[in-house]
């Protein structure tokens, strides 16, 4: 039995907080699930979470907007390149038109035999909406933003990782995590993320040798990590021990993220993975369950820094309408 069941979340380092919030909630129609701050380091930076209204794990995209501190990275190879979300089969035209009407260049493409829409976040990170015929999840409808269940995003499809050595990455994905290889051709490689509901999510790998090394630090304009869901602490620690025992010792101890517990591991190709599980209280740990994502909250260990952090954050209204 696999210790992984789908994705937990995907995390990007972006630019402006307000443009990020507007993009995910007003353009893509996701809901605000949590508004808090970066737990690592000392710089005041928002940590924003988006997804299904109830915060379903397989739907969560999180961002660190770095415009205020002015920290920017470099997109390149040996780095996560694309964030992918799943949409209903036949919904691509709707999204190409919707994005185009909002001044966002979008085009239909196909990879591994699956149609998808390619476009970019305002900070430049590449995104895709993928028509996954195997995904039976209910789409996220957002009537207030003009998005029905016919076209809504279903949740995470996966991500694309660029590498210079596809064999080393193949070993990591199939032996360390382990994932099942689904495709290996001129387009690259695709791996199925274990999921109780079938092949609803993947990791895709592309070989890029003619780009410089991409940034691995927390910095605007780059993807920070892909988080896989272990479901509980037992599975997380079992998988962590398995990965470390193979010699992948660039793996962190368990970290408390208030709503979930995490361990991070750097893959041979540079992309950072997280293995995570949600604590029993989940998103309702510091907000009412029916009002998650509506206030700016701080973890208990940051309460003594609330005024300092508030003063250092970028002004943003976070208005949904």
CATH number for position 302? 3.10.180.10
Q: Residue 321's pLDDT is what?
A: 45
Q: What angle do CA 202, 64, 74 make, to 5 degrees?
A: 75
Confidence of residue 1 (pLDDT cuts 50, 70, 90): low
Q: Indicate whether 176 belongs to any domain.
A: yes
Q: How far apart are CA 122 and CA 252, in angstroms?
A: 31
Lowest pLDDT segment from 68-77, 189-198, 251-260, 284-293:
189-198
Q: Quick one: pLDDT band at residue 320, thresholds 50, 70, 90?
A: low
Order the strands of the 180-185 sheet from edge to edge.
107-111, 114-120, 126-131, 79-87, 155-163, 202-207, 188-192, 180-185
**Mean pLDDT, range 144-164, rounded to an integer:** 97
Containing domain of residue 22, as a range? Answer: 7-312
Tens-place pLDDT, residues 47-106? 999 999 999 989 999 999 999 999 999 999 999 999 999 999 999 999 999 999 999 999
Residue 2 lies in a domain: no
In a domain, 263, yes or no: yes
149 domain-assigned: yes
Read off the pLDDT band of 198 (50, 70, 90). Answer: low
* 320 inside domain: no
Does residue 319 fall inside a structural domain? no
pLDDT of residue 57: 86
Q: How many domains does the chain have?
A: 1
Any domain includes 209: yes
What is the average pLDDT score of the chain? 94
Give the 3-state secondary structure of residue 303.
helix
pLDDT beyond 80 at 237:
yes
pTM for this prediction: 0.96
pLDDT value, residue 2: 78
In a domain, 190, yes or no: yes
Identify the H or E element spanning 311: helix 306-312
């Amino acid at each position: 039995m696999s210790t992984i069941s789908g994705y937990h979340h995907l995390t990007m380092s972006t630019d402006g907080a307000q443009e990020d919030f507007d993009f995910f909630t007003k353009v893509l129609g996701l809901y605000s699930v949590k508004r808090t701050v970066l737990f690592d380091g000392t710089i005041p930076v928002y940590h924003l979470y988006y997804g299904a209204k109830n915060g379903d794990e397989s739907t969560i995209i999180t961002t660190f907007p770095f415009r205020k501190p002015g920290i920017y990275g470099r997109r390149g190879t040996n780095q996560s390149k694309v964030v992918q979300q799943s949409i209903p089969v036949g919904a691509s035209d709707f999204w190409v038109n919707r994005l185009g009407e909002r001044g966002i260049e979008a085009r239909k493409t196909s990879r591994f035999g699956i149609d998808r829409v390619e476009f970019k976040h305002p900070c430049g990170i590449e995104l895709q909406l993928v028509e996954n015929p195997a995904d039976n999840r209910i789409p996220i409808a957002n009537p207030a933003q003009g998005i029905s269940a016919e076209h809504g995003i279903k949740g995470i499809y996966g991500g694309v990782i660029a590498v210079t050595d596809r064999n080393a990455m193949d070993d990591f994905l199939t032996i360390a995590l382990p994932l099942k290889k689904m495709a290996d051709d001129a387009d690259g490689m695709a791996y199925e993320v274990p999921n109780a509901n079938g092949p609803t999510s993947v990791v895709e790998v592309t070989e890029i040798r003619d780009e410089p090394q991409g940034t691995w630090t927390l910095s605007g304009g780059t993807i920070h990590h892909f988080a896989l869901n272990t479901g509980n602490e037992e599975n997380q620690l079992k998988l962590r021990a398995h990965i470390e025992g193979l010699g992948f010792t660039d793996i962190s101890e368990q970290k408390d993220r208030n709503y979930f517990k995490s361990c991070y591991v750097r893959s041979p190709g540079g992309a950072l993975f997280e293995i995570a599980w949600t604590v029993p209280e989940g998103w309702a740990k510091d907000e009412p369950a029916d009002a998650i994502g509506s206030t700016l909250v701080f973890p208990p260990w940051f309460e003594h820094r609330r005024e300092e952090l508030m003063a250092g954050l970028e002004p943003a209204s976070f208005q949904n309408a």
